[in-house]
Amino acid sequence: MSFDQEQFLTILSREDALSRFQAAVFTRPLPTELRPLADALGHSLADDVVAPMDVPPFDRSNVDGFAVRSADLKVTTANNPIRLGLNQEVIACGVAPQQLVQPGTATPIATGGPIPRGADAVVMIEHTQPEGESTIQVGRTASPGQFVSYAGSDIARGEVLLRARTVIGSREVGMLAACGIARVPVVRKPKVAIISTGDELVEPGQSLRPASIYDTNGPIVSAAVSENGGVPWFAGLFADDEVELEAGMRAALTDSDMLVLSGGTSKGAGDVSHRILSRLGKPGVIAHGVALKPGKPLCLAVCDGKPVVILPGFPTSAMFTFHDMIVPVLRRMAGLPPRADTRVQARAPVRIGSELGRAEFVMVSLVEGENGLIAYPSGKSSGAITAFTQADGFLRIDALADHIAGGTDAEVTMFTPHVRVPDLVIIGSHCIGLDVVTAPLAHADLLVRLISVGSLGGLAAAGRGECDIAPIHLFDEKTNTYNLPFLRPGLELVPGYRRMQGVAFRVGDTRFEGRDARAAVEAALTDSECIMVNRNQGSGTRVLIDRLLAGQRPDGYWNQPKSHNAVAAAVAQHRADWGMTIAPVANAAGLGFLPLAEENYDFALVAARKNRPGVAAFLESLHSEETRTALERAGFRPV
């Protein structure tokens, strides 16, 4: 069998894969342990807990007052009080009564004090009058049992206090403590070993090597394991080396109840972990390839009774498959109920396409539309970790559907139980200067949602009424102006700031150092070794570049990234020698910069939403002295 054929021999549906996996994992009762009450929080009770005693353990007073015989007070009234002799003891909390309450007498008692023999009721101190040292007058009748809590009235000995599979929270801790229970039988939290695989991975905190990236999946999975009742144990980063990885997997599995790996499941030359799985124990691989998007390369196995999972490498894919396919199993192992997800209805503003035959998850940000919530699909690819943090939840497109039509209602599963609709929605081109302008809003407890879809996408969203503000920087060649020609009815232009565009190069490159931008580019065009990085068609920067090049197509022309940051990265990493970007981005990347022309970064305001508090706060910040100073410091020129 060739390496390629070995992959994804049978793709299972999500439901089939999950049920086969569960059937193979849950063949035995869950392991249990006795835990000290103080360490039992969040655990699931393994057995019913039966109350070993009555609570309260004795009849006790509910008020400060006097323990009495109710029969003595049958005929009392305010005008005709009854006189009772005081017994010579005071029943404070924790004091066991010694004396009998004889007819015609009363014993002082505190809230929580045990009712003395002979008494059957308590009168409140407020309804009595002292009369010398040894007598009181009582001006009200008392019914039998008045202000008495009887033994066992809260918890009766022998009753089931808590049922098996109750998750222990502070209230449950309280009940157990009231009965004097110091150790509780709980389901042992599964210890989950986590391994990240890939030659390119570096642990956060270490410095990146060339071509390396930080391990994202390890921390994500660790956190998600904790959130769902497991105890995470990060067993390390492993290169794509079959021998080392196999040793690492065996060691990790010996010391844990479950092993979660990520990476190495797609068709890369270094992908080895799934091959190791077949040697780790019976029954072995249950599913390799599940009809999920993202997440197709998921691999589920059970090795000698322990689940072993290989998540896809892309962090968002890893996160989705973990939550969708692994969390149900992990929670069941921990004795926890399935997670209760909050779901809301929201409208899809645009058509969302989907691959037929795979259940597809689409992350969405919720914004408030004219007629309810709108689920704005996150434009990021499956490799984008920010897609998760910018999204409020996701919608699922069934395997049998190939799209959701724009304008239809969809059910959104929320990442957190509380829907918080943003106070200000900004959809359009992103800029680090925007972070400066919106910073004060967070301190004023206003939630800002930034959805970065580029200038044209922002204008379209503004036209549909999905945002308050669309930041744009669009150059109109006909009029030689920025932004204004692109506004449609219903939108107003608020001037933002200027961003200096120019040529970025590596410091010390004498082809550029100390020259004028135009002269430097002219010289670069005669140097066949000099590689440029371009920008995407439709960007204002591209117009500027094309004018400079005047029809020439130097090496690198077809490399056309969509952002100022990508241009700077290409130059900084020697993939190109020069490119056009904005000054703050070139500075941040440590590059040299030759200024050329300013571009206008402005805000298209949806006129109908102008009076929203979030918009007012944004404008106030934009025009404030503090923000203007901060923008200047970051390399922008406010207008």
Enumerate binding residues for ligand AMP (CB under 6 A): 196, 198, 200-201, 213, 215-218, 262-266, 268, 271, 312-315
Which one of ligand AMP, Mg ion, none interacts with residue 265, CB within 5 to 8 A by kind?
A: ligand AMP
501 binds, among ligand AMP, Mg ion, none (CB under 5 to 8 A by kind): none
> Least distance from C-beta 21 to ligand AMP, angstroms?
20
Binding segment toward Mg ion, per CB under 5 A, in 178-186, 256-264, 579-587, 628-636 = 256-264
**Partner from Mg ion, ligand AMP, none contacting 335, C-beta within 5 to 8 A by type:** none
Choice between 310 and 459, CB closer to Mg ion = 310
Q: Which of 565-573's residues contact partners 24+ apart within 8 Å by CB, and which partners?
A: 565/589, 566/533, 567/504, 567/533, 567/535, 568/504, 570/533, 571/504, 571/505, 571/506, 571/533, 572/506, 573/210
CB of 328 to ligand AMP, least distance (A): 22
Closest CA to 325 of 7, 25, 15: 15
CB of 220 to ligand AMP, least distance (A): 8
Distance CA 239, CA 245 (A): 7
Name the segment binding Mg ion (CB under 5 A); options: 190-198, 523-531, 571-579, 630-638.
190-198
Say how far apart CA 115 and CA 122 lie, in whole Å.
Answer: 8
Residue 422 contact, options Mg ion, ligand AMP, none, Cβ 5-8 Å cut-off depending on partner type: none
Residue 382 near residue 318 (C-beta atoms within 8 A): no
Kindly state whether residue 335 participates in binding Mg ion, applying the rule CB under 5 A: no
The piece of 36-44, 150-158, 194-202, 384-392 that touches Mg ion (CB under 5 A) is 194-202
Rounded to whole angstroms, the Cα distance separating 46 from 163 reads: 9
Distance CA 289, CA 295 (A): 8
E strand map for 304-418: 306-311, 343-347, 352-353, 359-369, 372-377, 393-397, 403-404, 409-414
Which residues, in sequence order, are CB contacts of 165 under 8 Å at separation 6+? 44, 45, 335, 337
Of 535, 567, 564, which Cα lies nearest the Cα of 635? 564
Cβ contacts of residue 561 below 8 Å, gap of 6+?
A: 533, 534, 535, 536, 567, 570
Q: What is the dihedral of CA 513, 559, 294, 196, to 10 degrees?
A: -40
The option from ligand AMP, Mg ion, none interacting with 215 (CB < 5 to 8 A, set by class) reads ligand AMP
Answer for which of 263, 349, 540, 638 binds Mg ion (CB under 5 A) is 263
Is residue 198 part of the contact set for Mg ion (CB under 5 A)?
yes
Which CB atom, from 101 or from 221, has the smaller least distance to ligand AMP? 221
Residue 47 vs 200, nearer CB to ligand AMP: 200
Q: Residue 273 Cβ, how far from Mg ion at the closest point, in Å?
A: 9
- Minimum separation from the CB atom of position 7 to ligand AMP (A): 11
- The listed partner (ligand AMP, Mg ion, none) that binds 200, CB under 5 to 8 Å by sort, is ligand AMP
Question: CB of 600: closest distance to ligand AMP in angstroms?
Answer: 37
Q: Which is nearer to ligand AMP, 322 or 486 (CB)?
A: 322
Closer of 74 and 267 to Mg ion (Cβ): 267
Give the C-alpha separation, 343 to 32, whole Å.
33
* Shortest Cβ 609–ligand AMP spacing (Å): 38
Minimum CB distance to Mg ion smaller for 218 or for 264? 264
Residue with tokens 């004091």: 95
Segment contacting Mg ion by CB under 5 A, of 57-65, 198-206, 350-358, 479-487? 198-206
- Which residue minimizes CB distance to Mg ion? 198
Shortest CB 265 distance to Mg ion, Å? 8
Nearer to ligand AMP, 196 or 534 (CB): 196
Supply the minimum distance, in Å, between the C-beta of residue 315 and Mg ion. Answer: 12
Nearer to Mg ion, 263 or 614 (CB): 263
Query: Which residue shows structure tokens 């941040």?
Result: 588
Nearer to Mg ion, 299 or 545 (CB): 299
Q: How far is CA 189 from the centre of its chain?
A: 22
Rounded Cα distance between 116 and 69, Å, is 10
What one-character DSSP code corresponds to residue 368? E
Least distance (Å) between residue 246 CB and ligand AMP: 16
CA distances from 344 to 32, 311, 409, 415, 588 (A): 37, 28, 10, 11, 41
Name the DSSP class of 278.
T
Q: Which residues bind Mg ion (CB under 5 A)?
A: 198, 263-264
